[in-house]
Amino acid sequence: MTEQRVSDPVVLSIAGFDPSGGAGIIADVRTFVHFKVGSAAAITSLTFQNSRESFGAIHETARSLRAQVLPIVAEHQIAAVKIGLLPTSELVLEVARLMTESVLPAPVIDPVTRSTSGYDLVEPDVLETLVSELMPLARLITPNISEAEAITGLRITDEKEMRVAAARLRELGARAALIKGGHLSSHASGPIDLLDDDGHVTVFHGEWIAGQNLRGTGCMLSSAIAAGLAHDKSLEESVRAAKSFVADAIRQAQD
């Protein structure tokens, strides 16, 4: 792993730990290294999984999460925060408290609810707590189609409905929303992602890459965006660079 330089901005990941290395904090740290930012991390959940299946998890408590974060923020000036898996409302509330009590920048939130293999990772009341307590603190939220539907209660089948849902996510408190449309079958010409940043909408067009789905792409995307923000890039620039990074990772995985 590349040695961190003193001058590198530090990005904090608050997320789950995937022992197989495909997603979660390990994927976040690999991404941070690629974008030349320092890595710090606090684990919310120890998951039991491999590349094919999830078997369960043991979740951290609010106390243990706080005990991880406080020494980090005492030593480092955190340039950006990425938040991933928050499996319980207790942890959502604790992260919100940490964000408001500490000198931490508005986070990039990847609202993870299910594993790639279809395992439910969060308790039923988590999204409601996330919307009420954490989304108002967010710089960006990065749901996929199903996550955006679950949060907003809206059906999303095309770009027009993505625009409506993104606006709704901002109404719920997030300063910006990036809806990932990779599972939107209506765009046969290629996947689209839609960014609504304080009312300014940008549509990113991609390409379908043949082969098996790569695990952890959502983790990589949100972490790469946070790394771009840590380097003082605009949100649009950060999203564009993050999408290019993830697309390259998918291509390499098919080789």
**Quick one: pLDDT band at residue 211, thresholds 50, 70, 90?**
low
Which range is least confidently modeled, 9-13, 69-73, 123-127?
123-127
Give the separation between CA 31 and CA 80, rounded to whole angstroms: 14
Q: Which is more confidently placed, 82 or 190?
A: 82
> How high is the pLDDT of residue 1?
43
Give the separation between CA 84 and CA 181, rounded to whole angstroms: 19
Listed by start position, the domains of the chain span 10-254
> How high is the pLDDT of residue 2?
46
Q: What is the pLDDT of residues 124-145, one digit of tens each?
A: 899 999 999 999 999 999 999 9
Q: What is the pLDDT of residues 72-130, one digit of tens each?
A: 999 999 999 999 999 999 999 999 999 999 889 999 999 988 765 555 778 889 999 99
CATH class of 10-254: alpha beta
